[in-house]
Amino acid sequence: MARPLLKPLTQPTAASRQAYIISGLGGHALQFRPLANLLLPDWHLTGILYPVFAGGENTCSSITELAIPLRAALEEEKGPLVLIGYSFGGAIAYQMAAELRAQGRQVAVILIDTSIRSLRRRPRRFARGLRNLFYKKPRRILAKLRSGQHPQGQQGQQGARAVWKPKDASVAEFVEESRRAMRIYAPPRSDVPIVLIRAASHYDWTLWLDGKFWPSPTHGWSRVAPVAGVVRGPGDHFKIIAPENTAALAMAMDDALVMAFSCTG
């Protein structure tokens, strides 16, 4: 039997304003309860569960399809909406917000380090050549001298990072389908205002040289929607939601919520 997809993370107060949060790939909204407690009494967070955690389907054919039941869970909610999504959940939150905005709802979205492949900008061939000549090749030679190993072999060892797989078979199937859906997702154009919380690691200049894509201040989101603000969060993409960074993320979230609600009127 399917259960409600909305899960309150705190008890609202008379003064608190409500926002809705969606976890990352295969995550449960309850992981944000410590964050929600730190945001009281100004903000009250309600988690939006993926159907697989509420007795529903464990499939994810596309971001658009997955957004349908989550958006339906908000139909009875009144007033302006602020949706928050972390990583994969940010893509879902944006898709929901774009559809709600098309229906005439006042809505804004906060994306916690959500990067979409179709929005990334690859360096041009000339820039890649200069990077390889003056940065990557000298680093490979230096690594070879230090380790005595072939640089490609060392790079292969570093690149073989383990992929997280949940133990539950239904959740594991959902996660794998979600990964495929994320790779092909192209966000639609919308006038939904976006506030970004970007991990501090993105401000490291080496990311401009090590990655396949040039990092941008807006992760490319300004190409499809107006970006109302960018807030710096703690750590890297994974550590930004780690327990030791909850307090710092709460401070960033407080600033982001102020910006987002100012956009909803």
Which CATH number belongs to the domain containing residue 197 in this structure?
3.40.50.1820
Residues 205 and 75 reside in one and the same domain: yes
> pLDDT-derived band of residue 145, with 50, 70 and 90 as boundaries?
confident
> pLDDT-derived band of residue 42, with 50, 70 and 90 as boundaries?
very high
> pLDDT-derived band of residue 99, with 50, 70 and 90 as boundaries?
very high
**Cα gap 250→256, rounded to integer Å:** 10
Pull the structure tokens for residue 9: 């993370």
Picking from 159, 183, 218, the residue at the C-terminal end of a domain is 159
> pLDDT-derived band of residue 157, with 50, 70 and 90 as boundaries?
very low
Residues 186 and 256 reside in one and the same domain: yes
Q: What are phi and psi of 191, to 5 degrees?
A: -100, 20
pLDDT at position 160 over 70: no
Residues 116 and 234 reside in one and the same domain: yes
Residue-wise burial string across 66-81, b where 16 or more C-beta atoms lie within 10 A, e elsewhere: bbebbbebbeeeeebb
Residues 19 and 117 reside in one and the same domain: yes
> pLDDT-derived band of residue 28, with 50, 70 and 90 as boundaries?
very high
Least confident window among 20-24, 52-56, 91-95, 229-233: 52-56
Residues 179 and 115 reside in one and the same domain: yes
pLDDT at position 80 over 50: yes
Q: CA 85 from chain center: how many Å?
A: 5
Q: Which domain holds residue 143?
A: 125-159
**Cα gap 188→48, rounded to integer Å:** 22
| Residue 47, H or E segment | strand 43-48
Q: Report yes or no on 177 lying in a domain.
A: yes
Residues 138 and 204 reside in one and the same domain: no
> pLDDT-derived band of residue 148, with 50, 70 and 90 as boundaries?
low
Q: Report yes or no on 91 lying in a domain.
A: yes
Number of domains in the chain: 2
Return the percent helix, strand and coil in the chain, to nearest 5.
50, 15, 35
Residue recorded with tokens 């490979």? 140
pLDDT tens, 109-133? 999 999 999 998 888 888 888 888 8
Q: Report yes or no on 1 lying in a domain.
A: no
pLDDT at position 159 over 60: no
> pLDDT-derived band of residue 158, with 50, 70 and 90 as boundaries?
very low
pLDDT for 95: 98
Residues 131 and 85 reside in one and the same domain: no
Residues 140 and 61 reside in one and the same domain: no
**Cα gap 20→183, rounded to integer Å:** 24
> pLDDT-derived band of residue 164, with 50, 70 and 90 as boundaries?
low
Pull the structure tokens for residue 104: 């005439």
Residues 6+ apart with CB under 8 A from 235: 199, 200, 201, 242, 245
Beta bridge partners of 233: 199
Query: Within 13 A of 237's CA, how many CA atoms are on the CB side?
Result: 11
pLDDT at position 19 over 60: yes
Q: Report yes or no on 68 lying in a domain.
A: yes
In eight-state DSSP terms, residue 195 is E
71 in Cβ contact with 93 (< 8 Å):
no
Residues 6+ apart with CB under 8 A from 253: 35, 39, 43, 84, 110, 197
More confident residue, 108 or 132: 108
Residues 38 and 144 reside in one and the same domain: no
Residues 136 and 205 reside in one and the same domain: no
Beta bridge partners of 195: 110, 229
More confident residue, 8 or 156: 8
Residues 188 and 176 reside in one and the same domain: yes
Q: Report yes or no on 164 lying in a domain.
A: no
Q: What is the mean pLDDT of residues 152-160?
A: 45
Residues 138 and 31 reside in one and the same domain: no
20 in Cβ contact with 4 (< 8 Å):
no
17-22 β-sheet, strand order = 6-8, 43-48, 17-22, 81-86, 107-112, 194-199, 227-233
Q: What is the mean pLDDT of residues 138-153?
A: 71
More confident residue, 56 or 6: 6
What count of residues does the chain have?
A: 265
Picking from 159, 184, 215, the residue at the C-terminal end of a domain is 159
Least confident window among 70-74, 75-79, 212-216: 212-216
